[in-house]
Amino acid sequence: MNASKRLVIIGAGFACALAIVGVSVLGWYATRPGPMDFVARGGVASTPNMNSATGTPADFKDQDIISRGRYLTAAADCQACHTVQGGKPFAGGRPFATPFGTLYSPNITSDASTGIGHWSDSDFLTALHRGVGRGGKRLYPAFPYASYTYLSDADSLAIKAYLFSLTPAVGTAPENTLRFPFNQRWLMSFWSLLFNPSRRFEPVTTQSVEWNRGAYLVEGLGHCGECHTSRNKFQGLDNKLKFSGSLVDGWNAYNITADPQSGLGAWSDVQLEQYLATGHAQGRGTAGGPMAEVVELSLSHLTPSDIHATATYLRSVPPIKSANSPPVRDTTAAAQPVLKVSVGDQRDLGQKIFGQACVGCHTWSGHNTLLIRSQLTGSRAVNDPSGLNAAQMVMYGTASQNSDGTLVMPGFASTYSNEEIAAVVNYATERFGVARSTLAPSQIQSMRLSR
Ligand code: HEC
Ligand code: HEC
Ligand code: HEC
């Protein structure tokens, strides 16, 4: 049997197996909650006066479709994924590493040859709501259409109007390197059947207008679950564990349910809204990595009323307690180093580096009143026993400037060895957090390689 015949047989076998799995999973899935399960639990609304949940806030009442579209595009954070570092906004090319190979975001500017300039309104709606591109091309769920499916037609078309109002940028993304069978786009039709709820947002009449607006922002535009909810074997969001945390690009996207220990339950309203709007909450740390980007490109552009609605909805997400997520320690450390007796061990190395490279900004107490954003105590990352986010921060720092013009966290990946980085992170989590992390130099090495 030649290779291509074998491939066809394997392909057909795979398709049959998938169809059988698909049908049985569909039966199971039909009976389990969808992404907005607890939204629907309150009963689906029929009252039209709840319409204010979609669209832009009242502040935009007199604005044209392009300004409304700009706001909604920021709320949906389209730019983050469709822009390569240093590249033209929305011109695509950003890589998405998956266990099955790498996929690249396309150009979504109005350039006719390399972008979506020829797309009709209906092409655009089909992509956002159903994950089907022009000419029936099935799209991968790295494009979060299972969340954008909730967007109203009017909001989706305002986004299109805004994108089409910008100067078109020429640019073609590199070819995907996905392996067989994952390079078979038609398989995504099964995925969509199972995991794309494929319906528009419907307000819950038993909840306030503010809560409904928050639900629309969080579940639809903000697609928070795409990072904060873990995935099942088929890469669908496991909404039984809604918002209880997940791993994304080597970072822990923490539990944002209402759980008081591992989630946001103990955060004050002021802290939560401050974190969302500015990326920093007094006594709760500063957003880093992927969350810093979400704040910069998306949440910091929302009106205070929308930030408040987002927080209102988050507060209502049923608490789930995560393993390995102890209560954070919020007391500051001693003002001076406590010298360790075990000379020559990793603690001494950590303390030495902290004294050389970190103390100028962070101080020995972890609380520098002149550089508020650098406060280490109270932050989930510093209290995370895995030490993962703290290590990412120490290696790569903060990419862009702080909005308040203060110093940002520099990256030390090229300054220190794996052993030194592990030592200083383990030292910082012990000194400022609830427990010492146990990062090994080999883990730092894998973090370097997976970047
Ligand atoms: C989390 C990352 C992410 C976000 C956020 C995102 N996209 Fe995408 N998008 C992608 C990826 C990756 C693809 C390519 C999928 C594929 O090749 O199957 C894509 C594909 C598309 C396509 C299909 C284009 C084509 O040529 O087939 C359109 C249109 C699109 N996105 C528009 C948007 C809009 C509008 C927004 C904001 C409302 C948005 N995207 C937000 C990652 C994202
Ligand atoms: C691209 C992935 C991504 C998206 C999308 C995302 N987050 Fe996050 N989020 C993260 C990561 C990673 C962290 C941890 C950041 C850190 O340690 O500095 C985080 C942290 C947080 C925290 C702080 C948790 C804590 O205990 O410190 C809150 C609150 C939060 N996110 C809310 C949201 C909301 C609300 C949305 C949707 C509007 C959202 N996030 C969308 C990745 C994401
Ligand atoms: C130039 C000042 C500066 C230096 C030097 C510095 N940091 Fe930072 N660090 C910051 C700031 C500011 C933040 C908050 C994030 C931001 O705004 O960039 C931060 C954030 C952090 C965080 C994440 C805190 C959170 O809220 O999640 C950790 C962990 C950290 N730094 C550890 C270190 C270590 C360890 C060193 C030494 C190897 C170091 N920093 C050196 C300024 C600095």
Q: How far is the CA of 380 from the centre of ligand 2 (A)?
A: 11
| Domain boundary, last residue among 161, 182, 200 | 200
Q: How far is the CA of 364 from the centre of ligand 3 (A)?
A: 13
Tokens for 39, please give them: 């939204």
Q: How far is the CA of 295 from the centre of ligand 2 (A)?
A: 9
Rounding to the nearest 10 degrees, give the CA dihedral for residues 234, 248, 295, 126: -20
Please tell me the distance from the alpha carbon of residue 275 to that of residue 101, in angstroms, as a whole number: 34
The reply to whether 97 and 8 lie within a common domain is no
Ligand 1 first shell, C-beta below 6 A: 76-78, 80-82, 96, 103, 105-106, 108, 116, 127, 133, 137, 139-140, 142-144, 148, 159
The reply to whether 261 and 138 lie within a common domain is no
Block residue for tokens 């797309």 = 119
The reply to whether 235 and 274 lie within a common domain is yes
> What pLDDT score does 25 carry?
43
Please tell me the distance from the alpha carbon of residue 135 to that of residue 116, in angstroms, as a whole number: 12
Atom of ligand 2 nearest to the CA of 298: 38
* pTM of the predicted protein model: 0.91
Please tell me the distance from the alpha carbon of residue 75 to that of residue 78, in angstroms, as a whole number: 8
Please tell me the distance from the alpha carbon of residue 383 to that of residue 431, in angstroms, as a whole number: 10
CATH number, domain of 377, equals: 1.10.760.10
Q: Work out whether strand 101-104 and strand 246-248 pair parallel, antiparallel, or are unpaired.
A: unpaired
Nearest listed ligand to the Cα of residue 373: 3
β-pair partners for 247: 252
Phi and psi torsions of 17, nearest 5°? -60, -40
List, as residue ranges, the binding site.
Answer: 78, 81-82, 224, 227-228, 358, 361-362
Q: 219 in a domain, yes or no?
A: yes
Tokens for 165, please give them: 């109002």
Q: Which residues form the domain of 295?
A: 210-315
Contact 56, 218 (CB under 8 A): no
The reply to whether 170 and 221 lie within a common domain is no
Please tell me the distance from the alpha carbon of residue 155 to that of residue 372, in angstroms, as a whole number: 38
Q: How far is the CA of 300 from the centre of ligand 2 (A)?
A: 13
> What pLDDT score does 342 carry?
54
Q: 341 in a domain, yes or no?
A: no
Atom of ligand 2 nearest to the CA of 379: 27
The reply to whether 140 and 217 lie within a common domain is no
Q: 326 in a domain, yes or no?
A: no
Tokens for 434, please give them: 């609830």
> What pLDDT score does 89 carry?
97
The reply to whether 61 and 194 lie within a common domain is yes
Q: 127 in a domain, yes or no?
A: yes
> What pLDDT score does 235 carry?
86
| Domain boundary, last residue among 144, 167, 200 | 200
Going from the first residue of the chain to its last (451 residues), give the mean pLDDT of each consecutive group of 10, the final group possibly shorter.
43 45 41 42 39 88 95 98 95 92 97 97 98 96 96 98 98 93 92 92 94 97 97 90 95 97 96 97 95 96 98 97 88 68 71 95 93 94 97 93 83 97 96 94 95 83
The reply to whether 276 and 302 lie within a common domain is yes
The reply to whether 165 and 250 lie within a common domain is no
The reply to whether 259 and 366 lie within a common domain is no
Please tell me the distance from the alpha carbon of residue 317 to that of residue 312, in angstroms, as a whole number: 9
The reply to whether 219 and 127 lie within a common domain is no
The reply to whether 25 and 127 lie within a common domain is no
Tokens for 11, please give them: 């392909």
Nearest listed ligand to the Cα of residue 266: 2
Q: 329 in a domain, yes or no?
A: no
> What pLDDT score does 396 carry?
96
- Angstrom CA distances, 439 to 13, 249, 320, 442, stand at 44, 17, 26, 8
DSSP 237: B
Q: 253 in a domain, yes or no?
A: yes
The H helix count followed by the E strand count for the chain is 18, 6
- Angstrom CA distances, 203 to 72, 212, 223, stand at 18, 6, 17
List, as residue ranges, the binding site for heme c.
Answer: 78, 81-82, 224, 227-228, 358, 361-362
Atom of ligand 2 nearest to the CA of 222: 38
Quote the number of domains for the chain: 4
Burial call 300-309: b when 16+ CB within 10 Å, e when fewer: ebbbeebbbb
Q: 46 in a domain, yes or no?
A: no
Rounding to the nearest 10 degrees, give the CA dihedral for residues 427, 429, 435, 439: -70
The reply to whether 174 and 258 lie within a common domain is no
Euclidean distance between the first and the last CA atom of the chain, given in angstroms as a whole number: 41
Q: 356 in a domain, yes or no?
A: yes
For the Cβ of 431 lying below 6 angstroms from any atom of ligand 3, the answer is no
| Domain boundary, last residue among 152, 176, 200 | 200
> What pLDDT score does 343 carry?
52
> What pLDDT score does 333 carry?
73
Q: How far is the CA of 20 from the centre of ligand 1 (A)?
A: 30
